[in-house]
Protein backbone atom coordinates (compact mmCIF):
# COMPACT_ATOMS: atom_id res chain seq x y z
CA UNK A 1 0.00 0.00 0.00
CA UNK A 2 1.29 3.44 -0.86
CA UNK A 3 1.69 6.10 1.79
CA UNK A 4 -0.63 8.55 0.04
CA UNK A 5 -3.54 6.12 0.40
CA UNK A 6 -3.18 5.85 4.18
CA UNK A 7 -4.86 9.23 4.79
CA UNK A 8 -7.80 8.18 2.58
CA UNK A 9 -8.01 4.88 4.42
CA UNK A 10 -8.07 6.67 7.79
CA UNK A 11 -10.78 9.14 6.69
CA UNK A 12 -12.98 6.38 5.31
CA UNK A 13 -12.59 4.32 8.50
CA UNK A 14 -13.47 7.35 10.65
CA UNK A 15 -16.56 8.01 8.54
CA UNK A 16 -17.72 4.39 8.81
CA UNK A 17 -17.54 4.54 12.61
CA UNK A 18 -18.48 8.17 13.26
CA UNK A 19 -21.60 8.53 11.12
CA UNK A 20 -23.83 6.31 13.31
CA UNK A 21 -22.37 7.90 16.45
CA UNK A 22 -23.07 11.39 15.10
CA UNK A 23 -26.64 10.37 14.28
CA UNK A 24 -27.10 8.98 17.79
CA UNK A 25 -25.87 12.24 19.28
CA UNK A 26 -28.23 14.22 17.05
CA UNK A 27 -31.19 11.94 17.81
CA UNK A 28 -30.70 12.17 21.56
CA UNK A 29 -29.87 15.87 21.84
CA UNK A 30 -32.29 17.40 19.32
CA UNK A 31 -35.51 15.42 19.63
CA UNK A 32 -37.58 18.53 18.97
CA UNK A 33 -35.95 19.27 15.59
CA UNK A 34 -38.16 19.05 12.54
CA UNK A 35 -38.77 15.70 10.92
CA UNK A 36 -36.89 16.48 7.72
CA UNK A 37 -33.70 17.42 9.58
CA UNK A 38 -33.85 14.19 11.55
CA UNK A 39 -34.45 12.28 8.30
CA UNK A 40 -31.41 13.93 6.72
CA UNK A 41 -29.27 12.82 9.65
CA UNK A 42 -30.66 9.27 9.41
CA UNK A 43 -29.83 9.20 5.71
CA UNK A 44 -26.33 10.55 6.37
CA UNK A 45 -25.75 7.78 8.91
CA UNK A 46 -27.07 5.17 6.48
CA UNK A 47 -24.91 6.50 3.63
CA UNK A 48 -21.81 7.08 5.76
CA UNK A 49 -21.31 3.47 6.81
CA UNK A 50 -21.19 1.88 3.34
CA UNK A 51 -19.19 4.84 1.98
CA UNK A 52 -16.57 4.28 4.67
CA UNK A 53 -16.52 0.52 4.20
CA UNK A 54 -16.19 0.81 0.42
CA UNK A 55 -13.34 3.27 0.87
CA UNK A 56 -11.54 0.96 3.29
CA UNK A 57 -11.95 -1.95 0.91
CA UNK A 58 -10.87 0.11 -2.09
CA UNK A 59 -7.78 1.66 -0.48
CA UNK A 60 -6.86 -1.02 2.04
CA UNK A 61 -7.17 -4.18 -0.02
CA UNK A 62 -6.86 -3.26 -3.70
CA UNK A 63 -5.04 -6.43 -4.76
CA UNK A 64 -7.70 -8.77 -3.40
CA UNK A 65 -10.33 -7.68 -5.91
CA UNK A 66 -10.61 -7.96 -9.66
CA UNK A 67 -10.42 -4.86 -11.81
CA UNK A 68 -14.20 -4.86 -12.43
CA UNK A 69 -14.90 -5.13 -8.69
CA UNK A 70 -12.57 -2.22 -7.93
CA UNK A 71 -14.34 -0.18 -10.62
CA UNK A 72 -17.70 -1.01 -9.01
CA UNK A 73 -16.36 0.04 -5.62
CA UNK A 74 -15.14 3.32 -7.09
CA UNK A 75 -18.50 3.90 -8.81
CA UNK A 76 -20.58 3.27 -5.70
CA UNK A 77 -18.13 5.21 -3.53
CA UNK A 78 -18.58 8.23 -5.80
CA UNK A 79 -22.35 7.74 -5.93
CA UNK A 80 -22.70 7.58 -2.14
CA UNK A 81 -20.32 10.52 -1.72
CA UNK A 82 -22.42 12.64 -4.08
CA UNK A 83 -25.59 11.69 -2.23
CA UNK A 84 -24.02 12.66 1.10
CA UNK A 85 -22.74 15.91 -0.37
CA UNK A 86 -26.28 16.75 -1.52
CA UNK A 87 -27.67 16.01 1.95
CA UNK A 88 -25.02 18.17 3.61
CA UNK A 89 -25.74 20.98 1.15
CA UNK A 90 -29.45 20.84 2.00
CA UNK A 91 -28.57 21.10 5.69
CA UNK A 92 -26.20 24.01 5.19
CA UNK A 93 -28.78 25.93 3.16
CA UNK A 94 -31.45 25.43 5.82
CA UNK A 95 -32.12 28.26 8.27
CA UNK A 96 -33.48 25.79 10.80
CA UNK A 97 -30.20 23.87 10.85
CA UNK A 98 -28.26 27.05 11.64
CA UNK A 99 -30.76 27.91 14.36
CA UNK A 100 -30.18 24.50 15.96
CA UNK A 101 -26.41 24.93 15.61
CA UNK A 102 -26.52 28.37 17.25
CA UNK A 103 -28.70 27.16 20.12
CA UNK A 104 -26.33 24.28 20.85
CA UNK A 105 -23.33 26.58 20.65
CA UNK A 106 -24.84 29.27 22.87
CA UNK A 107 -25.85 26.70 25.48
CA UNK A 108 -22.32 25.39 25.72
CA UNK A 109 -20.94 28.91 26.27
CA UNK A 110 -23.28 29.78 29.14
CA UNK A 111 -22.60 28.81 32.69
CA UNK A 112 -24.83 26.14 34.20
CA UNK A 113 -27.90 27.67 35.83
CA UNK A 114 -29.54 24.60 37.30
CA UNK A 115 -28.67 25.48 40.89
CA UNK A 116 -29.54 29.17 40.88
CA UNK A 117 -32.29 30.28 43.20
CA UNK A 118 -34.06 32.52 40.64
CA UNK A 119 -34.82 29.50 38.45
CA UNK A 120 -37.16 28.00 41.01
CA UNK A 121 -39.91 30.65 40.74
CA UNK A 122 -39.92 31.71 44.34
CA UNK A 123 -39.44 28.26 45.81
CA UNK A 124 -36.29 27.76 47.80
CA UNK A 125 -34.62 24.41 47.55
CA UNK A 126 -32.70 23.35 50.60
In the chain, what are the domain boundaries? 4-106
Q: Which tens digits make up the pLDDT trace of 29-74? A: 777 777 888 888 888 888 989 988 888 888 888 888 888 988 888 8
Q: Give alpha helix (H) positions in 30-94.
A: 35-60, 67-92
What φ, ψ does residue 2 adopt, rounded to 5°?
Answer: -80, 155
Using pLDDT thresholds of 50, 70 and 90, give the confidence band for residue 125: low
Yes or no: say if 58 and 73 are a contact pair by the CB < 8 Å rule: yes
Mean pLDDT across the stretch 92-111?
Answer: 69
Using pLDDT thresholds of 50, 70 and 90, give the confidence band for residue 107: low
Query: Which pLDDT score, from 0 to 100, does residue 101 have?
Result: 72
Query: Which pLDDT score, from 0 to 100, does residue 35 have?
Result: 80
Yes or no: say if 44 and 88 are a contact pair by the CB < 8 Å rule: yes
**Burial level of 83, CB count in 10 A (0-12/13-18/19+)?**
middle
Q: Which tens digits make up the pLDDT trace of 94-103? A: 888 788 777 6
Separation CA 38–CA 41 (nearest Å): 5
Amino acid sequence: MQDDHIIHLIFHAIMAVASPLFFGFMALKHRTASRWIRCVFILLAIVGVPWGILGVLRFGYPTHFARATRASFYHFDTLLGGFALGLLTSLLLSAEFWQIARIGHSRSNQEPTADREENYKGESRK
